[in-house]
Amino acid sequence: DQQVKQNSPSLSVQEGRISILNCDYTNSMFDYFLWYKKYPAEGPTFLISISSIKDKNEDGRFTVFLNKSAKHLSLHIVPSQPGDSAVYFCAGADSGGGADGLTFGKGTHLIIQP
């Protein structure tokens, strides 16, 4: 039972354009969401997060949008740069659920074309 779903295994975007990565979740208890970026042979690195009291959070070129009614979040990268080519993981957590970590999606491989 996948609680966090990233339905696009890969996404190709032209440099300078907007990249939109999508994520759906099924666990109603999740109220905190994160995006991680992962390069090959490295550990995931934290990118941006959002709590359910917000519907948008921005950090430079990265913006995360949360639609609680649809149980959907998206990560926008504007403008896309070659260094953004990586695997992006969406994760959800129940902030009142204690220490049992994050539940991750399977990831989306973003490829930025020159």
Partner 1 sequence: DAGITQSPRHKVTETGTPVTLRCHQTENHRYMYWYRQDPGHGLRLIHYSYGVKDTDKGEVSDGYSVSRSKTEDFLLTLESATSSQTSVYFCAISRGAPGQGYEGSGAFFGQGTRLTVV
3-class DSSP state of 54: coil
Q: Give the largest CA-CA distance in the chain.
A: 44
Contact flag: residue 39 with partner 1 (CB under 8 A): no
User: Given the complex with partner 1, which of 15 and 55 has the nearer CB atom?
Assistant: 55
**Which residues in the 58-87 window bind partner 1 by CB under 8 A?**
none
| Least distance from partner 1 to the Cβ atom of residue 44, Å | 5
Contact flag: residue 44 with partner 1 (CB under 8 A): yes
Query: Which listed residue (21, 31, 84, 85) binds partner 1 by CB under 8 A?
Result: 31
To the nearest 10°, the Cα dihedral for 70, 81, 39, 60? -60
Strands 45-51 and 32-38: antiparallel
- How far apart are the C-alpha atoms of 21 and 90, rounded to whole Å? 9
User: Given the complex with partner 1, which of 76 and 94 has the nearer CB atom?
Assistant: 94
User: Contact at 8 Å (CB) between 112 and 80?
Assistant: yes
| Least distance from partner 1 to the Cβ atom of residue 89, Å | 6
Q: What DSSP character marks residue 31?
A: -
Positions in the binding site for partner 1 (CB under 8 A): 6, 31-32, 34, 36, 41-46, 49-51, 57, 89, 91, 93-95, 97-107
